[in-house]
Amino acid sequence: MANTSLAYKFKTANIAIKLIVVNVLVYVLFNIIPWLVGLGSGTFSQYFVLPSDVIRFLQQPWSVVTYAFLHSGFSHLLWNMVFLYVFSRFVLNLFSEKKFLAIYLLGAIAGGVLFALLYNVLPVFRGTGVLLGASAAVNAIVVFIGTYTPDAEVRIFTFNVKLWWIAAFIVVKDILLLDAGNAGGLISHLGGAAFGFYYAKQLLAGNDIGLWFERLIDNVSGWFTKKPKKQKKSPLRTVHKNKKSSVRSVKKTNTATKREQQQRIDAILDKISKSGYDSLSKAEKDFLFKAGKE
For residue range 56-110, list pLDDT tens digits in order. Answer: 999 999 999 999 999 988 999 999 999 999 999 999 999 999 999 999 999 999 9
- Would you state the pLDDT for residue 124? 76
Among 141, 173, 208, residue at a domain's last position: 208
- Domain of residue 128, CATH code: 1.20.1540.10
- Would you state the pLDDT for residue 276? 63
Do 266 and 173 have their domain in common? no
- Would you state the pLDDT for residue 253? 54
Cα angle 257, 263, 265; round to 5: 105
Q: Is residue 72 part of a domain?
A: yes
Do 60 and 186 have their domain in common? yes
Q: Is residue 256 part of a domain?
A: no
Give me the residues of the chain with pLDDT under 50, please.
238-239, 247, 250
**Of 9, 3, 133, whose CA–CA distance to 79 is shortest?**
133
Q: Is residue 7 part of a domain?
A: no
**Of 23, 5, 153, whose CA–CA distance to 77 is shortest?**
23
Do 143 and 288 have their domain in common? no
CA distance 183 to 275: 39
Q: Is residue 233 part of a domain?
A: no
Do 194 and 101 have their domain in common? yes
Number of structural domains in the chain: 2
Do 145 and 279 have their domain in common? no
Q: Is residue 143 part of a domain?
A: yes
Type of residue numbered 218? D
Which residues constitute the domain of residue 149?
Answer: 12-208
Which residue intervals of the chain are DSSP H helices? Answer: 2-12, 15-27, 33-36, 42-45, 54-59, 63-66, 74-92, 97-121, 135-148, 163-176, 183-204, 211-223, 244-275, 282-293
Do 204 and 286 have their domain in common? no
Do 107 and 196 have their domain in common? yes
- Would you state the pLDDT for residue 265? 78
